[in-house]
């Protein structure tokens, strides 16, 4: 099995980021000098997922245009001999083969994924959520793809969070997976400790901390078996009156003996930035800018003085 397709839902209203998202898709917010969505498409492409379906909605034209050629701009840059900027505007166009489907009514993440059914067909695929940026040095998708290929099931990315934050996420009850499953898998160049691949026993969307079965939160990377589509077709609206992907995966996890039904988790211990929240977005921009070869040295000098002055 080789997994080549990724589905990226981008139809959300971006209410956490108002007012700027009144007219600008949240996916286009700049993280240093590239929109957040470009990092996500890059991550997919780097993992060999070069067929990317963006599930869009109204007022997301800017996202579509960003991944398209811009002839006038390219001509102007070419005439000026500005090869570096020319390459930067061409880069998103050549990252992957992009497809678009409109979600119409925003009925939740599960519904957005279901909108990809026709495009994906009867094969495993990845889902990447745009609010989560995974540092390119700490790739998790290759490990998840390998677990899906070995098991034929679905795989979710998990992150340990403080108990009081678990209500912001889907939450997983887990047990030990067959140790052979993790053998030979690597993350960030290090062999993966066996405990990092787990079996999912149950899932609950945004539980109250006192009801949460663990402090393992679902983060926005999934590798899904096509069996999820049949389940999503009958998944009733859940939390927030939305069709929840978590609920569909919980149903798959209930009956792992059926083909394509087992669900596994990979616990992520690398660097992840949440760009959907204002404070975390600011942290992401500062961290990524400070680490850039071009901007980093000057920015770090300035930042040091700025922070010293704050105290």
Does 265 bind ligand G1P (CB under 6 A)? Our answer is no
135 binds ligand G1P (CB under 6 A): no
Instruction: Determine, following the binding rule CB under 6 A, whether residue 129 of this chain makes contact with ligand G1P.
Output: yes
Q: How far is the CB of 220 from ligand G1P (least distance, A)?
A: 4
Stretch that binds ligand G1P, among 44-52, 71-79, 134-142, 218-226 (CB under 6 A): 218-226
Question: Closest distance between ligand G1P and the C-beta of residue 205, in Å?
Answer: 5
Q: Which is nearer to ligand G1P, 10 or 181 (CB)?
A: 10
Which two tokens mark 107?
A: 């009925």
Does residue 113 touch ligand G1P according to CB under 6 A? no
Beta carbon of residue 66, minimum distance to ligand G1P (angstroms, whole number): 22
Distance between CA atoms of 306 and 50, rounded to whole angstroms? 42
The DSSP call for residue 210 is G
Site string for ligand G1P, 227-256 (x = CB under 6 A): -----------------xxx----------
Q: Which is nearer to ligand G1P, 53 or 156 (CB)?
A: 156
Number of residues that bind ligand G1P (CB under 6 A): 14
Q: How many Cβ atoms are within 10 Å of 183's Cβ, its own excluded? A: 12
What b-and-e string marks burial along 111-140, b requiring 16 or more CB atoms within 10 Å of the CB?
Answer: bbbbbbbeebeeebbbbbbbbbbbbeeebb
Interface segment toward ligand G1P; rule CB under 6 A; list 78-86, 91-99, 125-133, 282-290? 125-133
* Shortest distance, position 249 Cβ to ligand G1P, whole Å: 9
- Alpha-carbon gap, residue 252 to 145, rounded angstroms: 18
Residue 205 is a binding residue for ligand G1P (CB under 6 A): yes
Interface with ligand G1P, residue 170, by CB under 6 A? yes
Q: In angstroms, what is the minimal distance from the CB of 207 to ligand G1P?
A: 10
Q: Which residue matches tokens 């069709």?
A: 243
For ligand G1P, which residue has the nearest CB? Answer: 170
Among 49, 161, 212, 219, binds ligand G1P (CB under 6 A): 219
The dihedral sign for the CA sequence 51, 287, 13, 19? negative
Encoded tokens for 217: 């939160």
Cα separation, 239 vs 305, whole angstroms: 46
132 touches ligand G1P by CB under 6 A: yes
Kindly tell me which residue out of 169, 264, 268, 281 binds ligand G1P, with binding defined by CB under 6 A.
169
Considering the complex, state which of residue 169 and residue 264 has its C-beta at the smaller distance from ligand G1P.
Answer: 169
Q: Among 131, 135, 247, 251, which residue interacts with ligand G1P (rule: CB under 6 A)?
A: 131
Phi, psi of 203 (to 5 degrees): -140, 145
Q: What angle do CA 89, 93, 51 make, to 5 degrees?
A: 155
Q: Tell me how far, at minimum, the Cβ of 166 lies from ligand G1P, in Å.
A: 9
> Cα 68 from chain centroid?
21
Strand locations in the chain (E):
5-9, 30-31, 34-35, 51-56, 97-102, 125-128, 132-134, 154-160, 170-176, 186-187, 190-191, 197-205, 216-224, 263-267, 272-274
Tell me how far CA of residue 192 lies from CA of 121, 140, 187, 200, in angstroms.
Answer: 31, 11, 6, 18
Contacts of 224 (CB under 8 A, 6+ apart): 113, 124, 125, 126, 127, 154, 249
Residue 174 sits in the site that holds ligand G1P (CB under 6 A): no
Contact footprint for ligand G1P (CB under 6 A): 109, 129, 131-132, 169-170, 205, 217-220, 244-246
């Amino acid at each position: 099995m080789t997994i080549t397709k990724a589905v990226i839902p981008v139809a959300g209203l971006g209410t956490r980021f108002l007012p700027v998202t009144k007219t600008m898709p949240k996916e286009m917010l700049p993280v240093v000098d590239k929109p957040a969505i470009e990092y996500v498409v890059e991550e997919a492409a780097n993992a060999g997922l070069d067929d990317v379906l963006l599930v869009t909605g109204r007022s997301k034209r800017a996202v579509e245009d960003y991944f398209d050629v811009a002839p006038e701009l390219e001509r102007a840059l070419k005439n000026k001999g500005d090869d570096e900027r020319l390459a930067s505007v061409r880069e998103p166009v050549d990252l992957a083969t992009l497809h678009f489907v409109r979600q119409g009514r925003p009925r939740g993440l599960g519904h957005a994924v279901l909108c990809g059914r026709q495009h994906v067909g009867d094969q495993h695929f990845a889902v990447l959520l745009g609010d989560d940026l995974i540092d390119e040095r700490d790739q998790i998708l290759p490990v998840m793809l390998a677990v899906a290929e070995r098991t034929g099931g679905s795989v979710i990315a998990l992150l340990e969070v403080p108990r009081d934050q678990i209500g912001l996420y889907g939450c997983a009850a887990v047990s030990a997976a067959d140790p052979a499953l993790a053998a030979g898998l690597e993350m960030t160049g290090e062999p993966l400790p066996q405990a990092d691949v787990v079996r999912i026993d149950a899932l609950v969307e945004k539980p109250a901390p006192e009801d949460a079965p663990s402090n393992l939160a679902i983060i926005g990377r999934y590798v899904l078996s096509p069996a999820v589509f049949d389940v999503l077709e009958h998944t009733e609206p859940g939390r927030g009156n939305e069709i929840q992907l978590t609920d569909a995966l919980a149903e798959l996890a209930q009956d792992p003996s059926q083909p394509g039904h087992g669900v596994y988790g990979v616990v992520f211990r690398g660097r992840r930035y949440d760009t959907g929240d204002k404070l975390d977005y600011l942290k992401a921009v500062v961290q990524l800018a400070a680490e850039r070869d071009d901007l980093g040295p000057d920015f770090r000098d300035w930042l040091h003085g700025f922070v010293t002055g704050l105290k």
